[in-house]
């Protein structure tokens, strides 16, 4: 085993898993883990749920002490400025560059912003524990909440705010919630869940402006509707965190382009995992990008293997598993959805949950469940066995 230095940029779930897996599989070369945020690396799914409702800290992915015990050189609060592929160095603001023999980029993504709200007090994005703490404080102070964006994060934030007794409105530009991810039948169940808990759901409308000075007082929609609010949460998706890589020579197009083995294209010894990766899927011939915890974890395992294995490289393949918890209901999905598929509701094996299967040519190619984990697991196992 060589002692060449491996640098991992981004202490996300993918980054921490890569570093830990390298060590646990016997890699004895230096492993350096760089992270922009201060403090211990942490798991992000709870930020939109229990962290907002119960004021608890997100689970640590590993403390600095634990990482040091695994001989991982974890450097929190490190502002990475750029990448020099020729010199094989990571450029650090105000510090000496960090050289590498092998590089793993796991910087994740950042929220897509609405520039018209920049600088306004009362407007929130949710991506870090600092964001969550600020939003939690706003919820505790109270007020009307408007969530712009009807995806999973928007739905989770709306459910958290409503569980604290706040009046909540979701505004979604698409004709229905989760329109980019789920079929109409599933969207209707999610919208019904929110309405049953007192959330006002407005779809097919866009935000055109706001009222207020330095503090948000209301937002305006394209049909003239004015929604009074002191708390706006914008959850309209994310963009890969690649700004620091401008001019590096990496191929970037809605993420870092990489092969099915997650090696960055046209480079040597550079791998990518998590939200920032856009990999070539040989089964479809297209590039794909996933923004889910499970994909990041699984990609980390593939990258760690390919960094140190002597045999043929592993290729990443995903079963599309995602989950969300809203109003105490567990929403799970696996497999495919999209144009050309038919969705039908089927009886669940146990309990009062709901099961929707997605079919192509009469064959089940995906499923979405509400409080029916055993049914979801059965479909997931069936898909994996094919």
Which residue ranges form the domains of the chain, and what is each CATH number? 6-110+239-308 (3.50.50.60), 113-236 (3.50.50.60), 328-385 (no CATH)
Q: To which residue do tokens 């409503």 refer?
A: 162
pLDDT at 53 over 90: yes
**Cα dihedral 138, 144, 147, 150 in deg (nearest 10):** 130
**Cα(103)–Cα(256) distance, rounded to whole angstroms?**
13
**Cα(168)–Cα(217) distance, rounded to whole angstroms?**
15
Tell me if residue 55 falls in helix, strand or coil. Answer: coil
Nearest to 47 by CA among 293, 255, 332, 385: 293
* Cα angle value 64/70/75 (rounded, 5°): 40
Cβ atoms of 197 and 378 closer than 8 Å: no
pLDDT at 265 over 90: yes
What's the pLDDT at 3? 57
The overall average pLDDT reported for the chain is: 96
Q: Write a three-state SS string for 300-363.
A: HHHHHHHHHCCCCCCCCCCCCCEEEEECCEEEEEEECCCCCCEEEEECCCCCCCEEEEEEECCE
The two structure tokens encoding residue 157: 């934030």
Q: What are 157-196's pLDDT values in tens digits? A: 999 999 999 999 999 999 999 999 999 999 999 999 999 9
Q: What are 73-110's pLDDT values in tens digits? A: 999 999 999 999 999 999 999 999 999 999 999 999 99
**Cα(256)–Cα(18) distance, rounded to whole angstroms?**
17
Share of the chain above pLDDT 90, in %: 94
What's the pLDDT at 1? 36
What's the pLDDT at 136? 98
pLDDT at 2 over 70: no
Q: What are 218-261's pLDDT values in tens digits? A: 999 999 999 999 999 999 999 999 999 999 999 999 999 999 99
**Cα(373)–Cα(350) distance, rounded to whole angstroms?**
10
pLDDT band at 376 (very low <50, low <70, confident <90, very high): very high
What's the pLDDT at 310? 86
pLDDT, mean of residues 9-20: 98
pLDDT at 351 over 80: no
Cβ atoms of 255 and 277 closer than 8 Å: yes
CB-side exposure of 186: number of CA atoms within 13 Å? 25
**Cα(262)–Cα(1) distance, rounded to whole angstroms?**
21
Nearest to 105 by CA among 287, 237, 313, 244: 244
Nearest to 111 by CA among 170, 47, 206, 184: 47
Collect all residues with Cβ–Cβ distance below 8 Å to 165 and sequence separation of at least 6.
none
pLDDT at 275 over 50: yes
**Cα(322)–Cα(288) distance, rounded to whole angstroms?**
15
Cβ atoms of 366 and 378 closer than 8 Å: no
What's the pLDDT at 57? 87
pLDDT band at 48 (very low <50, low <70, confident <90, very high): very high
Element (H, E) at 43: none
Q: What are 199-216's pLDDT values in tens digits? A: 999 999 999 999 999 999
What's the pLDDT at 288? 95
The two structure tokens encoding residue 213: 């000075």
Q: To which residue do tokens 């990766």 refer?
A: 277
Number of residues in the chain: 386
Nearest to 284 by CA among 358, 364, 338: 338
**Cα(290)–Cα(254) distance, rounded to whole angstroms?**
11
Cβ atoms of 229 and 236 closer than 8 Å: no
pLDDT, mean of residues 52-59: 90
Nearest to 196 by CA among 327, 67, 335: 327
What's the pLDDT at 11? 98
**Cα(369)–Cα(187) distance, rounded to whole angstroms?**
12
The two structure tokens encoding residue 140: 């505790």
């Amino acid at each position: 085993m060589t002692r060449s230095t491996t640098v991992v940029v981004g202490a996300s779930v993918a980054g921490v898993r890569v570093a830990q897996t390298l060590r646990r599989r016997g890699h004895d070369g230096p492993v350096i883990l760089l992270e922009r945020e201060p403090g211990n690396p942490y798991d992000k799914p709870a930020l939109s749920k229990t962290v907002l409702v119960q004021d608890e800290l997100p689970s640590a992915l590993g403390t600095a002490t634990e990482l040091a015990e695994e001989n991982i050189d974890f450097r929190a609060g490190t502002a990475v400025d750029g990448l020099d592929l020729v010199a094989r160095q990571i450029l650090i603001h105000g510090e000496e560059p960090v050289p590498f023999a092998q590089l793993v980029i796991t910087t994740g993504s950042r929220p897509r912003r609405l520039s018209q709200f920049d600088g306004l007090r009362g407007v929130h994005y949710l991506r870090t524990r600092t964001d969550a703490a600020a939003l939690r404080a706003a919820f505790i102070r109270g007020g009307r909440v408007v969530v712009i964006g009807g995806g999973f994060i928007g739905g989770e934030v709306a459910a958290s705010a409503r569980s604290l007794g706040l009046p909540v409105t979701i505004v979604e530009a698409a004709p229905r919630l989760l329109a980019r991810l789920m079929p109409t039948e599933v969207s209707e169940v999610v919208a019904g869940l929110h309405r049953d808990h007192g959330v006002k759901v407005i779809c097919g409308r866009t935000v055109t402006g706001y009222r207020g000075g330095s503090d948000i007082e209301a937002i305006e929609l394209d049909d003239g509707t004015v929604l009074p609010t002191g708390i706006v949460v914008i959850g309209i998706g994310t963009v890969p965190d690649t700004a620091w890589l401008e001019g590096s020579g990496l191929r970037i197009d809605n993420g870092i382009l990489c092969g099915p083995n997650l090696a960055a294209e046209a480079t040597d010894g550079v791998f990518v995992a998590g939200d920032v990766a856009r990999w070539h899927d040989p089964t479809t011939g297209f590039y794909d990008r996933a923004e889910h915890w499970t994909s990041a974890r699984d990609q980390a395992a593939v990258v760690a293997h390919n960094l140190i294995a002597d045999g043929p490289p592993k290729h990443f393949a995903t079963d599309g598993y995602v989950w969300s918890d809203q109003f105490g209901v567990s929403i799970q999905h696996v497999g495919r959805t999209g144009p050309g598929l038919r969705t039908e509701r089927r009886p669940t094996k146990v309990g009062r949950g709901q099961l929707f299967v997605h079919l192509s040519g009469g064959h089940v190619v995906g499923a979405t469940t509400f409080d029916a984990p055993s049914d979801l697991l059965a479909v997931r196992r069936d898909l994996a066995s094919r």
